[in-house]
Homo-oligomer: A and B are copies of this chain.
Amino acid sequence: MIKKRIYSPGPVDVSPYTSLEMARPILHHRTKEFEAIVAEVVEGLKYVFQTKGDVLVFASSGTGAMEGAVCNILNPGDKAICVRGGKFGERWSQLVTKFGGEPVDMNVPWGQAVDPALIESALKADPSIRAVYIQASETSTGVASPVKEIAGIVRKYEGTILVVDGITAVGVMNLPVDEWGLDIVVGGSQKAWRLPPGLAFASVSEKAWGFVEKCTQPRYYFDWSKERKALGKNTTAYTPAVSLFVGLRQVLAEIREEGLDALFARSASYAQAFRAAMVALGLRLFAPDSPSDSITAVLGPEGMDAGLIVKHLASKYGITIAGGQDDAKGKIFRVSHMGYLDALDMITAVAAVEMTLKELGQPVELGAGVRAAQEILVQA
């Protein structure tokens, strides 16, 4: 018997309780019953995004909400800083280019976080820059950005907004939208929300709505004004992904019950434990200086294709993790700390990595990683 376990940075495991909830008979979306679900879901999303402002929901993957955060904001010719320190930072830049904007690319080595001072001097040098696009947690590298500091800088510029890809951050790390003044934060259902993929979210500040109103870019399915108007009536502009909404209601109730502080602390303890374990095994972290608490990227042992670890975990232990993408292919493996998982799941992941390294002929002290993780988890 080999159980299937998934520790990829999305999709994450879905709880059987959520699966059962989603297996309930289908609802029509233009009914009072579904309107009540929309209302409850939106309230729950506002709680997790920590905002009194709008949180929109789309039937799409996270990329759809990223597209919306460009085509509802920038007019052709508008300049926008894109922090490119990984695959998803590059996506911002591609999106800005695609919709006729001028990306001001801020290239950061993969594995490192952007220095907020660079953003500050870029904005000082050119205050016509309309938006700053960043990742709160860059999924491809496991780097967390100094979001609060960046927000403090952007806030000083009336004509500039901050757009945060929070796809692997919201619901894992503290990103208080209103307190920090984050204009747009994007999320996706298959991450901290512990659902199958197919729903995307975007919080939108009043400052950002001012940009939306002035945006002449053609848009229809991702027309945020239309979606805001619909949500005001507890419905959606187009047919919603009904079953995912129903699942989300259940997950949001669980998150409220646990409380955001406890959730963030728990996620952080898993990440800290996993990082300590990898270091105890003699491995190097890909982002040692600014690690994300939602996902850890680990460099493979010197001279070894990290993809072999991913493959061995899958074939021998039924465990799905992720390898490196694009530039990091073969160099790193990535393990998630978000979603439906607990402390013992993290131990399982560490133990499987240890056994895999041993079986692949690497010098490793079995149990050393587990012990390092346990020491952190018992204190948490």
Chain A: residues with CB nearer than 8 A to chain B? 4, 6, 8, 10-14, 16, 19-20, 22-31, 59-64, 67, 70-71, 94-95, 98-100, 188, 190, 196-198, 217-222, 238-244, 314, 320, 322
Contact = CB atoms under 8 A, between A and B. Distances in A.
A166 to B, nearest CB: 15
Contacts of A322: 28, 30
Given A59-B59, A197-B241, A28 B64 contact: no
Contact of A239 (B62, B67, B239): B62
A311 to B, nearest CB: 10
Given A25-B4, A28-B6, A220 B11 contact: no
A60 B59 contact: yes
29 contacts: A4-B25, A6-B28, A8-B28, A11-B26, A11-B239, A12-B26, A14-B25, A22-B22, A28-B322, A31-B314, A59-B61, A59-B64, A60-B64, A60-B221, A61-B240, A62-B238, A63-B221, A63-B239, A64-B238, A67-B220, A67-B221, A98-B219, A99-B218, A188-B239, A196-B243, A196-B244, A198-B241, A198-B244, A221-B222
A251 B64 CA distance: 26
Contact of A196 (B11, B12, B241): B241
A221 B188 CA distance: 14
Contacts of A98: 218-220
Count of chain copies = 2
Contacts of A239: 10-11, 61-63, 188, 190, 197
A107 B20 CA distance: 46
Contacts of A64: 59-60, 221, 238
Contacts of A14: 25-26
Given A60-B64, A196-B243, A242-B197, A22 B25 contact: no
A241 to B, nearest CB: 4
Contacts of A12: 26
Given A99-B220, A100-B218, 15 more contacts: A4-B25, A8-B28, A10-B239, A11-B29, A12-B26, A19-B23, A22-B243, A28-B320, A59-B61, A62-B238, A63-B220, A98-B218, A190-B242, A196-B243, A197-B241
A379 B30 CA distance: 36
A254 to B, nearest CB: 17
B13 A28 contact: no
Contacts of A238: 61-64
A340 to B, nearest CB: 9
A220 B61 contact: no
Given A198-B198, A221-B63, A11 B27 contact: yes
Contacts of A190: 26, 239, 242
A14 to B, nearest CB: 5
A320 B25 contact: no
